[in-house]
Amino acid sequence: MNRPLRVLFIAQVFPYPLDSGPKIRAYYVLRYLASRHRVTLVAFLTHPRERRYVDHLASFCEAIYPVERPHSLWREEAAMARSLLTGRPFMIERHFDAEMARLVESLAAEGRYDLIHVDQVKVAQYALGIEGIPRVIDKHNAYALVLKGVAGVDPSPLRRLVARFDWRRMARYEGMLCRIFDGVVAVTDTDRDALLRFSGDNRPIPVIPIAIDCEAIRPVHRRAGGRDILILGSLFYPPNVDGAVWFAREIFPWVRAEVPDARLLLVGGRPAPGVVALGRENGVAVTGYVEDLQPYLEQTAVMAVPLRFGSGMRVKILNGLTWGLPMVSTSVGCEGIGVTPERDILLADTPEAFAHQVVRVLRDRRLADALSANGRRLAEQRYDWRVLYPRWDEVYAHALGSGDWTQHRKDTGKTVENSTSSPVPHQDGFGGLCSGRRRGTAALCPYKLR
């Protein structure tokens, strides 16, 4: 490949700020691709606070098209009705948006793009009808496995019923995508194996783990004598909800019996009602979304990842390693991450065993410090995006059928090293939303058209 590609990058989430796993995955892949290609980003905006970060993304994307998609009950009901009528998975219908569909169709029709990059299964639908442009999908997880877990343990009978029907439909849908897309990437071996089963195809699915930025994220200076146990994540996401409730109800009482002044902090956006209710229990605090995690990280004695089901990689564990926080996780929680138990992390899968591991960290400062140092070292050596994401070159080359890209850095004049994270300037209001940088033309801005 002798020139930078023009890439249309379709994202389910607006990939900044870096306050969730899907955003972190999308952001650093985007950073890497933009260091070598000319990338146009199309992404949903689900919260007004995301608007202020468009200028930051515009510093390395050629054009940005944000599409507003606020959460609403009527959208959920309409998606359920469409799912019943079409037979498509509810979670796919839930992410259908007519404006997004028109925008992607319009951009693809211009004939400027060499490749379409789809970030997550729920927005793959916008690339399905596009022909003549190679398509690659980044599968953050095998989502059918998540739904299968919901069907087994969710406390809501309605959600269990929906998931029971939906996980099989999602498996068929994901299998179809694997057969028709020109490139499919998984983040763990477990997900890859599941996707191969779903597709019934023997085409290889490469594994590129999720990565973080060890240069930008410094180790946390933990306060001595802390007793706070941190559970971090999107507290509306079913695996996180189940894990938080399981820990608070079945594990935390064991911990408090041994360490009476221990405190449980549940930090994450949009906490589900079952999580909010935990805040009424003794020693438990539910914060909701916080803009600045640093004060909570500094007072954390141990980070807990009590997940019992799910798919993909838990970015919270990568973050915990990078922050240098001692961690206790279930086997499911650290799936796909090359940790060594008792060196980098402590593992347990039953309430009593999990509580025992947490108490070990709370009582043994030397153990906590060793886990902290070893975890940080692992993150630096194996999970920095500059180490992992050059593998995307091979994925693109395979999708395009173009073979060797050994001259690509020289051809593009860009390097990974000169595209490290930069501070995000403060931006008020709508400044920078129409931040297209297309040479010789004005960028379409959905906000101006409304």
Instruction: Give one DSSP letter per residue of 164-212, joined into a string.
Output: HHHHHHHHHHHHHHHHHSSEEEESSHHHHHHHHHHHT--S---B----B
Convert the pLDDT of each residue in 155-183 to its tens digit.
888 889 889 999 999 999 999 999 999 99
Whether residue 282 is found in the same domain as residue 333:
yes
What type of residue sits at position 424?
Answer: V
Whether residue 139 is found in the same domain as residue 260:
no
Question: Does the residue 320 lie in any domain?
Answer: yes
Q: Which of 339, 359, 382 is the last residue of a domain?
A: 382
CB distance 389 to 29 below 8 Å: yes
Whether residue 309 is found in the same domain as residue 242:
yes
C-alpha dihedral (186, 192, 197, 201), degrees to nearest 10:
70
The radius of gyration of the chain from alpha carbons, rounded to an integer in Å, stands at: 22
Whether residue 133 is found in the same domain as residue 167:
yes
Whether residue 68 is found in the same domain as residue 176:
yes
Convert the pLDDT of each residue in 336-353 to its tens digit.
999 999 999 999 999 999
CB distance 9 to 36 below 8 Å: no
Other beta carbons less than 10 A from residue 199's beta carbon? 20
Q: Which of 334, 364, 382 is the last residue of a domain?
A: 382
Question: Does the residue 1 lie in any domain?
Answer: no
Question: Does the residue 220 lie in any domain?
Answer: no
User: CA-CA distance, 423 to 56, in Å (whole number)?
Assistant: 8
What type of residue sits at position 38?
Answer: R
User: CA-CA distance, 197 to 177, in Å (whole number)?
Assistant: 13
Tokens of 55: 């200028």
- Per the DSSP assignment, residues forming a β-bridge with 327 are 303
| 129 CB-near residues (< 8 Å, 6+ apart) | 105
Helical pair 21-34 and 392-400, crossing angle rounded to 10 deg: 70
| Number of domain units in the chain | 2
Whether residue 243 is found in the same domain as residue 375:
yes
Convert the pLDDT of each residue in 125-162 to its tens digit.
999 999 999 999 999 999 999 999 999 988 888 889 88
Helical pair 157-180 and 143-153, crossing angle rounded to 10 deg: 170
Give the model's pLDDT for residue 124.
Answer: 99
Question: Does the residue 279 lie in any domain?
Answer: yes
Give the model's pLDDT for residue 2.
Answer: 61
Q: Model pTM?
A: 0.85
CATH number at residue 192: 3.40.50.2000
Domain extent for 436:
6-213+385-445
Give the model's pLDDT for residue 70.
Answer: 80
User: CA-CA distance, 333 to 354, in Å (whole number)?
Assistant: 12
Residue from 19, 68, 67, 5 nearest 41 by CA: 67
Give the model's pLDDT for residue 162.
Answer: 87
Whether residue 63 is found in the same domain as residue 163:
yes
- Cβ-count burial of 300 within 10 angstroms (0-12 exposed, 13-18 middle, 19+ buried)? buried
Mean pLDDT by 10 residues, the chain (450 residues): 89 95 97 98 91 96 94 88 94 96 98 98 97 97 95 87 93 98 97 97 94 95 94 95 98 98 97 97 96 96 97 95 98 96 98 99 98 98 96 97 43 36 30 31 31
Give the model's pLDDT for residue 423.
Answer: 33
What type of residue sits at position 152?
Answer: G
Whether residue 85 is found in the same domain as residue 178:
yes
What type of residue sits at position 308?
Answer: R
Give the model's pLDDT for residue 1.
Answer: 55
User: CA-CA distance, 157 to 169, in Å (whole number)?
Assistant: 19
Question: Does the residue 22 lie in any domain?
Answer: yes
Convert the pLDDT of each residue in 286-340 to its tens digit.
999 998 999 999 999 999 999 999 999 999 999 999 999 999 999 999 999 999 9
Q: Which residue has the tokens 């395979």?
A: 398
Question: Does the residue 251 lie in any domain?
Answer: yes
Whether residue 123 is found in the same domain as residue 236:
no
Secondary structure of residue 126 in the 3-state scheme: helix
CB distance 180 to 134 below 8 Å: no
- Cis omega before residue 425 (within 30°)? no
Whether residue 14 is found in the same domain as residue 156:
yes
Whether residue 319 is found in the same domain as residue 428:
no
- Cβ-count burial of 443 within 10 angstroms (0-12 exposed, 13-18 middle, 19+ buried)? middle
Is the dihedral angle over the CA atoms 194, 197, 200, 202 positive or is it negative?
positive
Q: Which of 382, 401, 416 is the last residue of a domain?
A: 382
Question: Does the residue 62 lie in any domain?
Answer: yes
Whether residue 50 is found in the same domain as residue 142:
yes
| 36 CB-near residues (< 8 Å, 6+ apart) | 4, 5, 393, 408, 409, 412, 414
Secondary structure of residue 43 in the 3-state scheme: strand
CB distance 416 to 35 below 8 Å: yes
Question: Does the residue 247 lie in any domain?
Answer: yes
Helical pair 143-153 and 189-199, crossing angle rounded to 10 deg: 100
